[in-house]
Structure 1
Amino acid sequence: MRIVSAGQFQLKREVDYGSAEQNAIVKAIVSAVKNEGDAALLNYTEQLDGMKLAPESLRVTEEELRAAYEQVEPSFVSAISAAAENIRAYHSRQKRNSWMDLQPDGSILGQIIRPLKRVGVYVPGGKASYPSSVLMNVIPAQVAGVPEIVMVTPPATNGKAGIDPYILVAAAEAGVNEIYRVGGAQAIAALAYGTESIAPVDKICGPGNIYVALAKREVYGAVDIDSIAGPSEIAVLADDSADPAYVAADLLSQAEHDEMASAVLVTTSEAFANACRDEVQRQLAELPRREIAEASINSYGVILLVDSIEEGISVINQMAPEHFELIVEEPIAYLGLIENAGAIFLGPYSSEPVGDYFAGPNHIIPTNGTARYSSPVDVDDFIKKSSLIYYSKEALLTNGETIMELARREGLEGHARAIEIRMRKEGKAGNE
């Protein structure tokens, strides 16, 4: 990791919208599934995943879900169950209620909150499987009251035929029983437009490769999507009270995600910077995913020297990182200064994986500086709101002239007359 001053640093990566060829491939797949349904879905599953399926075998059976429990360790079942309980408890505090406000003139204003009816969750296969992401997508939707949650996942994981049993157990523990063995852009298209076997959804969420990301972008508008996520990020602000081994381990915990992940240390101490850099190299040599993490550290790993904690927080606010760890003496004293971060971890024992897996907050967090204006996935992502207006006669007669004034100033006479006709009926001529 190179050491630089804060003024020399700039980390801003463009969102990957794919090559022209990748976009063309995705558009063709989405169009085919939209127009041909199961036939195209099965064709692409055979062509791209090497799995020849019949329509009736697309859906994972209850027997397969039960069998998955026999293929995983009991300790994993206990761990995923405990994590699900924490995630559910945290997100339950985010629930909103509909409300109505009775005005003195008899009018009622309010907001009606309803859950989305049907949500699709994409769970990747490929290089790795992420049972924790099943929980982070499914549980907020359940807490919001979504009655139908469907999961899609490739029919092969890590190059082996069959869905990862850990994914299936996580789904079962989260309460999902509608699961289809289909992945890639074709799965996104099936969720968006429906096929003979898969009913369409209102929203699609969950991570995936570039083809999945482009397909989500392609179908947006027909359905809602969560986001087009960029590579994972971690920024740590530490002083010399921090343990270099802890900080190095946390930096590498994100670097091992993929070659484009970024790991940034901001510190007030040059001695600590050197110690942490050496510790990163020492731990990197022993990391199973060394090749990926090393590429990330070499390309997007950096240590920034600042003069004060306050300057460091200013740098963090400009970065708006996905994950931000503050490992300094009295970290809570600085909390009010932190404006832009997807998730904030305070103190030496709040390691980023605590949030990824177990504490309860969602680990699907805005990347690439978008924490300036967006938030982690939560219950609000799975609800819709309707405004409620019940206007009384008294209110309309009192405010009708004002409403017509505003309508006519915009040149919308039809709007004004919709009010005027009512006022005339009630004995008020209106503005003629």
Structure 2
Amino acid sequence: MNSTPIPTPAPRIAVIGAGPGGLTCARVLERHGIAVTVYDRDASADARNQGGTLDLHADSGQIALKEAGLLDEFFALARPEGQAMRVLSRHGEVLADYRPPADENAAPEIDRGQLRTLLADSLAPGTVRWGHTLRSAAARPDGTHRLTFENGTTTDADLLIGADGAWSRVRPLVSDATPVHTGVTFLEAHFDHVDTDHPAVAELVGDGQTFATGDHKGLLAQRNSNQHVRAYIALREDVDGESLAGTDLGDTEAVRAALLEKFTGWDERLRILITDNDGPYVHRPLFVLPAPHTWPHTPGVTLLGDAAHLMAPFGGNGANLAMLDGCELALALARHNSVDAAITAYEGTMLPRAAEAGDGADALDRVFGPGDRDATEVPDFGREKEEYRRGAAAYRSR
């Protein structure tokens, strides 16, 4: 690891947000001998459910994990079989049934919680300050930023890194952009002990994911570890759930009845994702930051991940690019002799890459458009994996 000598005194670096991007940034910084503090609102790494499963791509997330010295640990936890993808029509016709080869590691799956624990546990004790919700960040005349947290503590930073997600409190320091609703909302459903308690769901989902769309709607399901499946019931609606107007979103049975009405005519093997879930539905409207999202160079502050380029979930780019962002920002700080030069170098690479990736809103329009999909519209999942490998080779040869 070749690094430029760290300036004296060393810059005070504050990362807001202990998600995959923020933790990756911190880990790579520490591997280069650069001190950093991460602040997160959660009480601990496992204080709340972190969400579903992620496929970490060879050309982005895996590159970041290698720089973090954690790639072998990731592969020990990951599920290569989770790359399986079954695509159905709303009438149950199988449009594609991709099963990865046993040695396919271009994009294996890992639970979000497992990834967060892996990254957090790799950091020096005390690096992450849990229970710190950022209240405000204010620029000071000397070019630093004063951070004030809801628990009453304050600190100053020479570099403030906003890794705090869609509703970032750091973003307003560099940009007026705010997330916009895509017109698509997910209702998340859960299935525990799926192999024993929900065998029909287990058969439908298999080792990976099942995806069915049509008539502006969709039923998606993904296997997580420990016999758990998450399903996402997709609807075209506004952010307040107007397509379920008159239904209390906290009333599970009322929501289920409304959803069954909306999915009338869908294959019964798919409708079990609405009828058989354990517990309530979780309302998850999808937002994006319209791309390209850019901002003028701002000394002492930058963004990564969803704070910089919030994307729709299709394609799995969000967490992967967040981790690559965090990795590249850390490397820039290690290789430049000033914070300002490092920010300039990092943003010069990250912003064009995010613009090229886009916000994913067009994909939502295609997937959840009118009528039915057919086999010609299904991606070639094997070719997709090969593209990740080619991308990784091209990245490493730069």
Bucket of the pairwise TM-score, normalised by the shorter protein: under 0.3
Relative contact order (alpha carbons < 8 A, sep ≥ 6): 1 or 2 greater? 2
Q: TM-score, normalised on structure 2?
A: 0.24
**Higher helix fraction (1 or 2):** 1
Q: TM-score, normalised on structure 1?
A: 0.23
